[in-house]
Amino acid sequence: MNRRSSGSLSLFSIISFVAHRAYYTRRFPPAESETIDRLEWTPLTVLAALLSLLALLSTMAYVISPFLVSWGSAGLPYWLRWLGVAPSVVGFILLEWSHRALGRNWSDQPRITRAQQLVQNGPYKWIRHPIYAGFLLILGSTLLISSNWLAGGAWISSVALDGAVRMRYEEQAMLQRFGAEYQEYKRRTGAILPRF
């Protein structure tokens, strides 16, 4: 895999990710009047947003002019870089499956609505936060595909930090909303990996 093809694959993956998010945001716009509680901006969410910006800019630099970020090269073998496409594909499948299971319960920002339901089908049968697992797979694959620590590391860091903040909020909000039912659900499922 040369720089041009890895840059194109990285960019395609990110554009597909943004397009997927935009589709569901448009399909299920946030119901502000129905919102009971939502995650507010914190210093950690701001840091995650800044890391996302760094990730996006470094990926664009990698695609447009790779020498600008060549100092971050990981020197991964070509076979491993091509193998990086697999987690991205798995991530998109998991993301779409999650959206279909959630339906109108999905929101672009973590929030609790009056009509909120505790979804326990699809991937939610095994894990509580499959969307964040999908994010990690899709955007984390940038590290393998680009073989660049700056671009890949920034994506992994931003998604991990943002996901951790979102999951902590969602766990507390769902526990408050659904009580013992959520406790039982939490007991038998993993956060982003299935519990065996």
Q: What is the pLDDT of residues 31-80, one digit of tens each?
A: 777 887 888 889 999 999 999 999 999 988 988 888 888 899 888 898 89
Q: State how far the Cα of 109 lies from the Cα of 166, in Å rounded to an integer.
A: 9
Q: What is the pLDDT of residues 12-33, one digit of tens each?
A: 888 888 888 889 888 888 777 7
Q: Does the pLDDT at position 5 exceed 80? A: no
Which pTM was predicted? 0.88
Domain 3-188 = CATH 2.60.40.10: no
Q: Across the chain, what does the average pLDDT equal?
A: 90
At 9 the pLDDT is: 78
| 161 Cβ contact list (under 8 Å, min separation 6) | 44, 47, 48, 51
Beta bridge pairs of residue 35: 113
Question: How does residue 2 score in pLDDT terms, banded at 50, 70 and 90?
Answer: low
Q: Could you tell me if 137 and 87 are in contact, meaning their C-beta atoms sit under 8 angstroms apart?
A: yes
Per DSSP bridges, beta strands 111-113 and 35-38 are antiparallel
Q: How many of the other CB atoms lie within 10 Å of CB of 118? A: 12
